[in-house]
């Protein structure tokens, strides 16, 4: 799977190049203001949410590799349309359509690969396997992507940098789908008797048939909703209001997620030893509730002269955000008899975060202000901590851990 991880990293670099400046860029090229730009990003988030669910359900039916091909094609086609047609014409409705539909691309690619990983990795080392996934995922979006933008924006401009991202993403996507030769992902994962409608219904009904999976999906939404939300309005606050400027803001983003990618590995490996649930509760939920408050209120209180302090609190948020990594091992392990449905809900939660975060900003930035939105994000992390206490492993998963086999090898009857 090595080339898959490398390809995913490059794919997400291409995706993440825009993360530090896309909202103000769209505001200046047809959206009109930051609020209207957030509507475009929210539409994108809706597509991401739907595609994230479909990536799990369709990977069961068609195999992860085919789903990844579809995601790569969607992204490239609609990204080119967005850049070649919608942006030059400053056509806001077309911007909504092309950028929104583009949102179906990356979840089908990235989360299709995650399904592939969870199907073949031994359960006892599943935390480490998904840790490597998120090392590559967040290594690109937005860590190295923002770092690339910090160098290319002054030379190519925002528009040229966005075109560069298309090439990086295409190279990574092709390396991943062509380079991974492990055969499990080439074929359907569901038993032959399972029909498309049955599989799609099962990927939803598991939320109430196994309520712990539904609770885990909510925890997964809360995991990254604030991350997606803060990227909508933090660029203006940190670059303009505090006075860091775009270059130092992009460097701060790189520090946040540069720290995050290494702690993804640390918490992924450590969680196999100290427990997935405990890692999520203490380091993820409680840690993020504290660190996201520090990330906003410390720099806004101290001002531009204390940039080094902003880097420290940014690194802390990146580290605690990685505490949620074991959720991708925990959720399918809660339902080994229907791990495809569990993965569909896990991916739905990941995709929903891309919608929920910007939606919270759209709803509350006006009435509550930036500080109020950040407090709402912190409160959500406390809710995640409470919900995590309900996520306890079933006996079948404990058996798989003891026998050092994968979830695909767990003998169980599908409901």
pLDDT digits 0-9 by tens, 145-163: 888 988 999 999 999 999 9
pLDDT at 206: 84
Average pLDDT score over residue span 131-152: 86
pLDDT at 35: 77
- Taking only the tens place, the pLDDT of each residue in 21-80 is 888 899 888 887 877 888 888 888 889 888 888 888 888 888 899 999 999 999 999 999
pLDDT level of residue 354 (50, 70, 90 thresholds) = confident
Output the pTM of the full model: 0.80
- Encode the chain in three state secondary structure: CHHHHHHHHHHHHHHHCCCCCHHHHHHHHHHCCHHHHHHHHHHHHHHHHHHHHHHHHHHHHHCHHHHHHHHHHHHHHHHHHHHHHHHHHCCHHHHHHHHHHHCCHHHHHHHHHHHHHHHHCEHHHHHHHHHHHHHHHHHHHHHHHHHHHHHHHHHHHHHHHHHHHHHHHHHHHHHHHHHCCCHHHHCCCCCCCCCHHHHHHHHHHHHHHCHHHHHHHHHHHHHHHHHHHHHHHHHHHHHHHCCCHHHHHHHHHHHHHHHHHHHHHHHHHHHHHHCHHHHHHHHHHHHHHHHHHHHHHHHHHHCHHHHHHHHHHHHHHHHHHHHHCCHHHHHHHCCHHHHHHHHHHHHHHHHHHHHHHHHHHHHHHHHHHHHHHHHHHHHHHHHHHHHHCCCCCCHHHHHHHHHCCEHHHCCCCCC
pLDDT at 15: 94
pLDDT at 408: 61
pLDDT at 221: 94
Mean pLDDT estimate for the chain: 88
pLDDT at 194: 66
C-alpha 121/C-alpha 118 separation (Å) is: 6
Task: Indicate whether 412 pLDDT > 50.
Answer: no
pLDDT at 217: 93
Sign of CA dihedral 267, 323, 220, 100: negative
Q: How far is CA 216 from CA 143, 334, 344, 378, in A?
A: 26, 9, 12, 18
pLDDT at 159: 95
Task: Indicate whether 185 pLDDT > 90.
Answer: no
pLDDT level of residue 197 (50, 70, 90 thresholds) = low
Average pLDDT score over residue span 325-334: 89
């Amino acid at each position: 799977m090595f080339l898959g991880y490398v390809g995913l990293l490059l794919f997400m670099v291409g995706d993440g190049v825009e993360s530090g400046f896309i909202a103000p860029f769209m505001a200046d090229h047809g959206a009109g203001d930051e609020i209207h730009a957030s509507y475009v990003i929210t539409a994108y988030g809706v597509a991401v949410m739907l595609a994230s669910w479909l990536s799990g359900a369709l990977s069961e039916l068609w195999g992860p590799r085919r789903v990844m091909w579809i995601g790569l094609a969607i992204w490239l086609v609609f990204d080119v349309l967005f850049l070649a047609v919608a942006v030059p014409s400053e056509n806001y409705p077309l911007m909504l359509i092309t950028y929104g539909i583009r949102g179906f691309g990356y979840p089908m690619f990235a989360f299709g690969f995650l399904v592939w990983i969870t199907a073949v990795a031994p359960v006892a080392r599943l935390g480490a396997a998904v840790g490597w996934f998120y090392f590559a995922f967040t290594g690109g979006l937005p860590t190295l992507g923002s770092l690339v933008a910090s160098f290319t924006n002054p030379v190519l401009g925002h528009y040229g940098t966005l075109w560069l991202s298309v090439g990086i993403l295409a190279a990574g996507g092709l390396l991943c789908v062509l380079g991974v030769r492990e055969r499990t992902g080439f074929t359907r994962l569901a038993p032959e008797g399972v029909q498309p409608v049955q599989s799609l219904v099962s990927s939803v009904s598991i939320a109430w048939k196994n309520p712990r999976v539904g609770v885990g999906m909510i925890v997964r939404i809360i995991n990254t909703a604030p991350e997606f939300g803060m990227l909508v309005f933090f660029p203006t606050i940190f670059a303009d209001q505090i006075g860091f400027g775009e270059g130092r803001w992009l460097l701060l983003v790189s520090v946040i997620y540069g720290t995050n990618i290494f702690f993804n590995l640390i918490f992924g490996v450590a969680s196999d030893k100290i427990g997935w649930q405990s890692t999520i509760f203490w380091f993820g939920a409680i840690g993020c509730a504290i660190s996201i408050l520090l990330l906003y209120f410390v720099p806004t209180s101290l001002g531009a002269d204390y940039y080094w302090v902003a880097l420290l609190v940014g690194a802390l948020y990146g580290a605690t955000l990685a505490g949620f990594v074991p959720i991708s091992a925990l959720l399918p392990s809660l339902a080994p008899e229907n791990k495809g449905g569990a993965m569909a809900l896990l991916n739905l939660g990941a995709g929903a975060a891309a919608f929920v975060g910007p939606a919270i900003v759209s709803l509350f930035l006006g009435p509550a202000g930036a500080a109020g939105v950040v407090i709402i994000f912190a409160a959500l992390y406390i809710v995640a901590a409470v919900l995590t206490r309900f996520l306890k492993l079933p006996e079948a998963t404990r058996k798989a851990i003891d026998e050092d086999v994968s979830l695909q090898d767990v003998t169980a009857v599908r409901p």
